[in-house]
Amino acid sequence: MTDDILQFDPDDDLDEWITPTPLSDPVLTAIFQNAEVSGLAMRSFLNATLEDSGDMPVSEVVTVTPQSVHSETSSRGFRIDVEARTIGGEIALVEVQLKPFTATIERALLYAEQSLASGSKRGEKLADVTSAMPKVIVVNILEKALRKAGGFHQVVELLYREPPYHRATDKLSIHNLELDKYRILGIEKPATPLQCWLTAICRSQDEKKPLTEVVKMDPELQAYYDTDPGFAQFVQRHGTVAAMPDVRKAYRRWEYDIILDRLDEERRAAEMETRLAESKSEGKTEGKIEGKIEGKIEGKIEGKIEGKIEAAIKIIESLKITVSEAMRILELPKQEQKKIVKELDKRNIPYVIGQ
């Protein structure tokens, strides 16, 4: 990775054979820059997702805003990759995440919160606010799966916890489309609208080919292209914007930033691995550790297990890992968990048990 960054000049022109990928920030922004030429595409994608989960389709998309900024004077602002609003009052928020991010659901709730309250006014009756509350649909396109279980399309909703398990409200739904799971399926003949969308996007992303070329090489995708104006619009828009000099320049800079991020991740991962190895070694061989966590801990801790427990406490605080992870790293038996938790509570050290 270090060699990559040394050889990469972000100011160089993008090689002619490289097509900027459809899910990259510069391309996605350019595709949805104008609702008049991208509204059909957004509606097609949203309805393909909703059909796959058995939900009602959205109505006509009237506005599409890439890189939509939401800000409040009293809280932190945030930027959404693409926001779409329909003639029926629905609000769709589409977010692309190309690297692992564990707080995807929490981020979706944060994004949805302001959208749900967007039509309310100060002094308005609560009944009027709730009756006018829009339906918010959040679609997260994730390169890496958020959870191992389940299929590639994970739907998150508010449900009653006791039977019958039906929706508590239809005002909010979150759809996670996990691309790595979809690739594993190896679907050669996409049979549904969502499969057509994801197959085309994944092939374009992986092979850095224009969507037009990807579609022409697949009879099923070509048939869907010929019958779905929104999908056709997205494919055509990708071909157009991917050839724009300013988009290609921005894509080159975007690639450079990705490499920098990965380099930083590798550095931090190497540091964590070293620290974990040191903590594990300390717990295994010394059996006596003098800890200093939020002040000086007096005395020496006797015995091999006690030493490992102290090492576990240290890495839980310093590395912010779960109790279960620390115990697994230091090979501590399950019965020692109570001792660790008791000591963490005693020292007022925040922790999560984990699995």
Q: Are residues 312 and 250 in the same domain?
A: no
Residue type, 35: A
Q: Are residues 180 and 322 in the same domain?
A: no
Looking at per-residue pLDDT, the higher value among 4 and 166 belongs to: 166
Task: Please state, in angstroms and rounded to a whole number, the distance separating the CA atoms of residues 249 and 326.
Answer: 45
In a domain, 34, yes or no: yes
Q: Are residues 121 and 245 in the same domain?
A: yes
In a domain, 267, yes or no: no
Range of the domain at 12: 2-261
Q: Are residues 210 and 324 in the same domain?
A: no
Q: What pLDDT score was predicted for residue 295?
A: 37
Q: Are residues 200 and 340 in the same domain?
A: no
pLDDT in tens, 258-299: 777 766 766 776 777 777 777 666 655 555 444 443 433 343
Which range is least confidently modeled, 135-139, 224-228, 240-244, 264-268?
264-268
Among candidate residues 246, 261, 276, the one where a domain is terminated? 261
The overall average pLDDT reported for the chain is 83
Beta-sheet pairing, 136-142 with 91-97: parallel
Q: Are residues 217 and 301 in the same domain?
A: no
pLDDT in tens, 24-76: 999 999 999 876 778 999 999 999 999 999 999 999 999 898 887 766 545 55
Max CA separation in the chain (angstroms): 77
Residue range 315-335: mean pLDDT, rounded: 79
Q: Are residues 252 and 293 in the same domain?
A: no
Q: How confident is the model at residue 209 (pLDDT cuts 50, 70, 90)?
A: very high
Q: Are residues 184 and 318 in the same domain?
A: no
Judge contact between 21 and 50, C-beta under 8 A: no
In a domain, 251, yes or no: yes
Q: Are residues 110 and 71 in the same domain?
A: yes
Token pair in block for residue 103 = 């707080």
Judge contact between 41 and 231, C-beta under 8 A: yes
pLDDT in tens, 68-118: 776 654 555 678 899 999 999 999 999 999 888 889 999 999 888 888 877
In a domain, 276, yes or no: no
Judge contact between 179 and 202, C-beta under 8 A: yes
In a domain, 269, yes or no: no
Task: Please state, in angstroms and rounded to a whole number, the distance separating the CA atoms of residues 350 and 272.
Answer: 19
Looking at per-residue pLDDT, the higher value among 214 and 304 belongs to: 214
Q: Are residues 149 and 215 in the same domain?
A: yes
Among candidate residues 261, 296, 318, the one where a domain is terminated? 261
Q: Are residues 313 and 224 in the same domain?
A: no
In the predicted model, is pLDDT for residue 350 greater than 50?
yes
Q: What pLDDT score was predicted for residue 299?
A: 39
In a domain, 162, yes or no: yes
Domain count, the chain: 2
Q: 224 by DSSP, 3-state: which?
A: helix
Q: Are residues 218 and 308 in the same domain?
A: no
Judge contact between 148 and 61, C-beta under 8 A: no
Judge contact between 193 and 47, C-beta under 8 A: yes
Task: Please state, in angstroms and rounded to a whole number, the distance separating the CA atoms of residues 341 and 326.
Answer: 12
